[in-house]
Amino acid sequence: MANAQPLLSVRGVSKAFLGVSALENVDFTLQAGEVHALLGENGAGKSTLIKIITGAYRRDEGEVLLEGTPIHPRDVVDAQKLGIGTVYQEVNLLTNLTVAENLFLGRQPKRFGLTDVREMNRRSKAILDTYGLDIDVTAPLANFSVAIQQVVAIARAVDISGKVLVLDEPTASLDAHEVEMLFAVVRQLRARGMGIIFISHFLDQVYEIADSITVLRNGRLIDTVPVAGLDRLKLVSMMLGRQLEADIKRTIDPNTAQSEPLVSLRGLGKRGNIDPLDLDIRQGEVVGIAGLLGSGRTETAQLVFGIERADSGTISVAGTPVNMSSPRKAIAQGFAFCPEDRKTDGIVGDLSVRENIIFALQAQRGWMRPLSRSEQEALADRYIAALDIRTSDREKPIKFLSGGNQQKVLLARWLATNPRFLILDEPTRGIDVGAHAEIIRLIIDLCERGMALLVISSELGELVGYSSRIIVLRDRKMVSELTGDEISTDHIMKAIASHDATGEAA
């Protein structure tokens, strides 16, 4: 790479939150006229790296050079002025303003001290023309599809910044046609000599548009490689991490596979979330769900727990079809669900550990039948001891606990309801190693005591370790169901990396 000075280079950047390292000594180099994909699962450090580049976070260590000059952007606006523009998946424009106002917010052309709306509209039209977009620039942005909003966001970013463009999952909510339109714009910008950082979890798209790929995992740089000739399976294993030792597997009692299913899904699906799928979960069984981010994993769990309503299919519990239209109905069937986003969907931050533990049980009993204080304390103490929840005091607000301990409190909350069927969405994400092992042990323990479990995880080794069966999702479809000896990280990765017949050949 000695031929040309890189457009943007990141050297040895580290960042920690509350002493937990989010990014460790990462290097990243972007050339002018290059589309560089940044890949990794949740928590890999992609968004932390992007936020450091775009000025949203300050780095703890390392340097960022733009065209050879060290930069220290104070905030996102400062980074824009330096030449680094960003477009997010949730378009960060103002949908209540017109297209032209969005393009020129803060730098509207003036005439006699007033905004020259005609000039602004004319120039907006001219800018969008270069992207082949012929739309009414005087209409509110909300009138247009997300794809067009993305292009407007790109146009604004390029017009203001013009050197580096960061596209953070821009295609997540676009259809194939819209993706093509967006990619045409990206190719055009690449031809103009811009450097583009492209974040996506759609591997097909990465192969289509990117020139090189950088993979992060657990805050570390795994590798930077050119796309040409890169094997898909190798890429997936870089992202998910390949177990060097042989997969450790739990021995499974063959009799469980014969018993009647506790929960049966038949053709359960919701348009735009997950295609209809069939699945049986028996008592004493852990069913694992594997798949990349955005493959429909969480969406499946949300349908089963009644958070989202299915538009097709049925759920039966012990052979009886049930109406699963709200979490309350699911809980009444003995279901329990530990969500992925603990902070917004799980913990009730200002309430104490005790209150959080008894919360679901109390909600189930209704407000008229309160648990007495002594019952509450007994329950809380029992689970604090049983799950080894590290807290100085059961009356401490849960928001002050570490991630691992919060997760254990949420598990305790559901175990206190004595569920038949427990759904765990990424139960070990973002928690320390000790708690990690304990939660895995707990999953196995619960299963052996006859509970039915559905576990979603990106940690394939872990999933292989405790699952009786694993289903693999890709692009919101169930593509494979692995049982017995098929359960291995290799098989999962092959299923994830495999193509549809309609896709291009690898």
Residues 12 to 71: which contact other proteins by CB under 8 A?
Answer: 17-18, 56-57
Note the helical H segments in 105-253. Answer: 117-129, 146-160, 176-191, 203-209, 232-240
Distance of closest approach, residue 112 Cβ to other proteins, in angstroms: 10
Find the binding residues for other proteins in span 400-439 (CB under 8 A): 413
Identify which range of 222-230, 243-251, 324-332, 490-498 contacts other proteins by CB under 8 A.
Answer: 324-332
Please give the helix or strand (H or E) that residue 24 lies within, else none: strand 20-30
**Does 366 contact other proteins by CB under 8 A?**
yes
Contact string 202-241 vs other proteins (x = CB under 8 A): x-xx--x---------------------------------
Q: Rule CB under 8 A: choose which of 363, 382, 420, 490 binds other proteins.
A: 363
Q: Rule CB under 8 A: choose which of 28, 131, 198, 337 binds other proteins.
A: 337
* Phi, psi torsion values for 185, nearest 5 degrees: -65, -45
Find the binding residues for other proteins in span 83-102 (CB under 8 A): 88, 90, 92-97, 101
Contact string 277-306 vs other proteins (x = CB under 8 A): ----------------------------x-
Identify which range of 219-227, 241-249, 278-286, 355-363 contacts other proteins by CB under 8 A.
Answer: 355-363
Distance of closest approach, residue 476 Cβ to other proteins, in angstroms: 7
Instruction: Give the long-range contacts of residues 395-402, CB within 8 A, separation 24 or more.
Output: 395/352, 395/353, 395/354, 396/352, 396/353, 397/349, 397/350, 397/351, 397/352, 397/353, 398/347, 398/348, 398/349, 398/351, 398/352, 398/353, 398/356, 399/347, 399/349, 399/350, 401/353, 402/431, 402/432, 402/435
Identify which range of 34-42, 221-229, 368-376, 401-409 contacts other proteins by CB under 8 A.
Answer: 368-376
* Phi, psi torsion values for 372, nearest 5 degrees: -70, 160
**Does 180 contact other proteins by CB under 8 A?**
yes
Q: Are 270 and 299 in contact (CB under 8 A)?
A: yes
What b-and-e string marks burial along 52-62, b requiring 16 or more CB atoms within 10 Å of the CB?
Answer: bbbbebebeeb
Q: Rule CB under 8 A: choose which of 14, 21, 25, 108 binds other proteins.
A: 108
Give residues with Cβ within 8 angstroms of 327, minimum separation 6.
Answer: 305, 306, 307, 337
Half-sphere exposure of 273 (CA within 13 A, CB side): 19
**Does 346 contact other proteins by CB under 8 A?**
yes
Residue among 234, 292, 302 at smallest CA distance from 268: 302
DSSP 115-156: E-HHHHHHHHHHHHHTTT----TTSBGGGS-HHHHHHHHHHH
Strand-strand pairing, 477-483 and 469-474 = antiparallel
Distance of closest approach, residue 345 Cβ to other proteins, in angstroms: 6
Identify which range of 225-233, 284-292, 346-354, 489-497 contacts other proteins by CB under 8 A.
Answer: 346-354
**Does 393 contact other proteins by CB under 8 A?**
no
Query: Closer to other proteins at the Cβ: 51 or 125?
Result: 51
Distance of closest approach, residue 56 Cβ to other proteins, in angstroms: 6
Distance of closest approach, residue 192 Cβ to other proteins, in angstroms: 23
Q: Between the CA of residue 222 and those of 44, 218, 335, 405, what are the distances in Å?
A: 10, 9, 39, 29
Distance of closest approach, residue 303 Cβ to other proteins, in angstroms: 14
Residue among 338, 367, 357, 432 at smallest CA distance from 395: 357
Residue with tokens 């960060």: 92
Distance of closest approach, residue 357 Cβ to other proteins, in angstroms: 11
Contact string 451-490 vs other proteins (x = CB under 8 A): ------------------------xx--------------
Query: What separation, in Å, do the N-terminal and C-terminal C-alpha atoms of the chain show?
Result: 28
Number of residues that bind other proteins (CB under 8 A): 81
Q: Rule CB under 8 A: choose which of 182, 199, 360, 493 binds other proteins.
A: 360
Find the binding residues for other proteins in span 113-172 (CB under 8 A): 114-115, 117, 139-140, 142-143, 145-146, 156
Query: Closer to other proteins at the Cβ: 203 or 222?
Result: 203
